[in-house]
Amino acid sequence: MKLLEQYRAACEVRRLAKRTIQTYCRWVEEFLRFHHNRTGHWIHPREMGEKEVEAFLTHLAVNRRLAESTQNQALGAILFLYRHVLEQPLGSLDAVRASKPKRLPTVLSKDEVRRLIAALPENASHRLIVELLYGTGMRISECCKIRVVDLDFDRGQIIIRGGKGNKDRVTMLPQSLEERLKAQVEFVRLRHEHDVENGAGYAPVPTSLEHKRHNAARDLRWQFVFGSAVIRLDKETGRRIRWHAHPSAVDRTVKHASEVARINKRVTCHTLRHSFATHLLENGYDIRTVQDLLGHKNVETTMIYTHVMAKPGVGVRSPLDA
């Protein structure tokens, strides 16, 4: 088995997210290619060690000027290679690292959120996604991957499966969106019936679920609430699959809406998550509650929103206003 095939298999055994596996494999390829370009021949990673890893990380910081988070991603991929594939753990590393800039998140005011939403077409699915992002604090990737089974109307909850760190969590289902979400599910049901009649109707599902329930991929419950407009052929299975809406398409919609609404800030889908957290804290909710809703591992990550609340300086009045 080739090295990258071994690497991918090791990632899958440890249940890493699909996007994480793709990213890690790309970094391992770049690591190998960097030393090939440097020496003129391919070197197996078993023949390399801390010195070569340090050289690669320094290259990322000095020559490519990548951010600290990107360097950490590359380091994580290489450490995984040596620890879990080669079973040859590395020692301490001493590479040049990029410094992490301290940046505050962009937050919209409640009026700006209203203007942004109003600038979106009223019955468009992207508008419903945008309202869910602000109303629940979900990441855009999480929202696009919601399935019919994840909406619990009776309990007023949405189950977020396989979020960051491959963790599940629960968030609120905004009452103001309940009827429109039910209408969206009905739309999904009718479209799914049409897809099945035409030989499609499949959604990608985890392999473990496929083994337990053989028809899960074609079950309405496992269809995406915000499915793609296009059905794609899976070459491995021969199935015609309807994937979820693409996050980048929603981001483009949000950017355009912010321009229409004349919001003079850099607005992305993630800005709505920042706004959700900040507005909850401003409304007096406990920071631990906000941490759980956001799915943050550490409360320190959630604390950043206390710095952008609409109460700078603990209510200190500017001398200009005196």
Q: Is 270 an active-site residue?
A: yes
Question: Two tokens at 208?
Answer: 């473990």
Mean pLDDT by 10 residues, the chain (322 residues): 86 85 93 90 89 89 84 91 89 69 84 96 90 95 95 94 80 94 96 92 82 83 94 88 93 95 94 93 89 88 78 58 64
Q: Is 134 an active-site residue?
A: no
* Chain centre distance of CA 292: 16
Question: Two tokens at 293?
Answer: 């809703």
Active-site entry in 145, 244, 273, 274: 273
Q: Is 145 an active-site residue?
A: no
The whole-number pLDDT of residue 99 equals: 62
Nearest to 295 by CA among 276, 312, 309: 276
Residue 61: partners with Cβ closer than 8 Å, 6 or more residues away: 71, 95, 96, 97, 98
Active-site entry in 84, 164, 169, 218: 164
| 245 and 302 both lie in a single domain | yes
Q: Is residue 104 in a domain?
A: no
CATH value at residue 63: 1.10.150.130
Q: Is residue 187 in a domain?
A: yes
Q: Is 192 an active-site residue?
A: no
| 253 and 152 both lie in a single domain | yes
| 143 and 13 both lie in a single domain | no
Rg (CA), the chain: 23
Q: Is 164 an active-site residue?
A: yes
| 181 and 279 both lie in a single domain | yes
Instruction: Indicate the number of domains in the chain.
Output: 2
CATH value at residue 119: 1.10.443.10
Q: Tell me which residue range forms the domain holding 79.
A: 3-85
| 127 and 258 both lie in a single domain | yes
